[in-house]
């Protein structure tokens, strides 16, 4: 896409809007969730994730909190999707 504008920020906004439409992106929605990184960094454990997911399910889902993201520290190696010893159930 070529987008010509006197204002580069306006061009970026237009580009973003067009790409969202072309790729069926969710627009004007807020993604609500809990991310392990901001709380535990790479010291996350299966127990911590389960405890937070259960709390979210009981108390926060009704307010729109939809996602639990395990960011780092669960895998054996970078790029590997298998859980390490801190995630005995995978």
Express each pLDDT in 5-26 by its tens digit: 999 999 999 999 999 899 988 7
What are the pLDDT digits (tens) for 23-62? Answer: 988 767 777 899 999 889 889 999 999 999 999 999 999 9
**Hunting for tokens 């990184």 — which residue is that?**
37
Q: What is the pLDDT of residue 79?
A: 84
Amino acid 87: pLDDT: 94
Q: For the whole prediction, is pTM greater than 0.85?
A: no
What backbone phi and psi angles, to 5 degrees, belong to 17? Answer: -65, -45
Residue 83 phi, psi dihedral angles, 5° rounding: -70, 150
């Amino acid at each position: 896409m070529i987008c010509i504008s006197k204002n580069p920020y306006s061009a970026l906004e237009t580009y973003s809007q067009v790409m969202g439409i072309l790729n069926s992106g969710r627009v004007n929605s807020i993604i609500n969730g809990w991310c392990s990184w901001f709380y535990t960094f790479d010291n996350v454990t299966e127990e911590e994730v389960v405890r937070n997911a259960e709390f979210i399910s009981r108390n926060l889902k009704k307010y729109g909190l939809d996602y639990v993201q395990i960011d780092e520290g669960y895998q054996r190696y970078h790029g590997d999707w298998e859980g390490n010893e801190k995630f005995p159930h995978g």
